[in-house]
């Protein structure tokens, strides 16, 4: 294999399809069933957010003055958690990931912040169950969940939105990664 080709360093078949980790030089990324990059890390600069998607989602932090507690729904490789742990080490964060496998991959391949060294933890749970049982209040909630490369409908349903609101601090914000096919679908999510 030449230096210019990515190397598959992890591959596991699950009931939902393939979960793969690739590496090329100092970049490593995660994908599910396809070539769409779910998460990426620059190995010699793990604090960076190399994907424009992550950068755009964190634009929501401009509206939260010094968040103390952050909830991530959908962890992927943990890029957002790494970013907060590096740039805002006093932030306490909970990353909720439904898949044990993805949580393990975040820890082993993507340097998810170690709980004994940071204020971050991965909790393997369904996000709706977690929110229903949650006793915490969050200053920032980041919803980054996709099914078949689309945002599931339940994410924008009133019940889920009310659940998110119930665990927000007084001035807290929710940021959504809305994955849609076209402008009409986007408008549907906003209505």
Domain architecture of the chain: domains with CATH? 46-190 (3.40.50.150)
Please tell me the distance from the alpha carbon of residue 83 to that of residue 113, in angstroms, as a whole number.
9
pLDDT at 12 over 70: yes
Can you say whether the dihedral through the CA atoms of 1, 103, 107, 84 is positive or negative? positive
Burial class (CB in 10 A: 0-12, 13-18, 19+), 10: middle
Are 100 and 124 in contact, with CB atoms under 8 Å apart? yes
pLDDT (tens digit, 9 = 90+) per residue, 140-181? Answer: 999 998 877 778 888 888 999 999 999 999 999 999 887 777
Q: Each residue of 25-81: pLDDT tens digit? A: 999 999 998 778 999 999 999 999 999 888 888 886 777 778 999 999 999 999 999
Give the model's confidence band at 1: pLDDT under 50 very low, under 70 low, under 90 confident, else very high. Answer: very low
Q: What is the pLDDT of residues 80-126, one digit of tens each?
A: 999 999 999 999 999 999 999 999 999 999 999 988 778 999 999 99
Whether residue 84 contacts residue 44, with contact meaning beta carbons closer than 8 Å, is answered with: no
Task: Return the pLDDT at 117.
Answer: 79
């Amino acid at each position: 294999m030449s230096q210019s080709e990515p190397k598959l360093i992890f591959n596991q078949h699950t009931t939902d399809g393939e979960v793969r980790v690739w590496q090329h030089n100092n970049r490593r990324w995660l994908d599910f069933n396809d070539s769409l990059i779910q998460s990426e890390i620059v190995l010699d600069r793990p604090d960076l957010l190399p994907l424009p998607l992550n950068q755009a989602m964190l634009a929501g932090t401009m509206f939260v003055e010094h968040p103390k507690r952050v909830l991530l729904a959908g962890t992927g490789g943990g890029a957002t958690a790494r970013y907060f742990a590096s740039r805002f080490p006093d932030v306490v964060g909970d990353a909720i990931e439904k898949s044990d496998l993805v949580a393990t991959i975040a820890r082993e391949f993507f340097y998810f912040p170690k709980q004994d060294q940071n204020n971050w933890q991965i909790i393997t749970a369904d996000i709706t169950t977690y929110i229903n049982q949650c006793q915490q209040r969050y200053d920032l909630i980041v919803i980054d969940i996709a099914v078949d490369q689309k945002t599931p409908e339940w994410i924008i349903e009133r019940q889920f939105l009310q659940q998110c609101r119930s665990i927000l601090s007084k001035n807290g914000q929710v940021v959504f990664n809305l994955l849609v096919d076209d402008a009409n679908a986007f408008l549907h999510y906003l209505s």
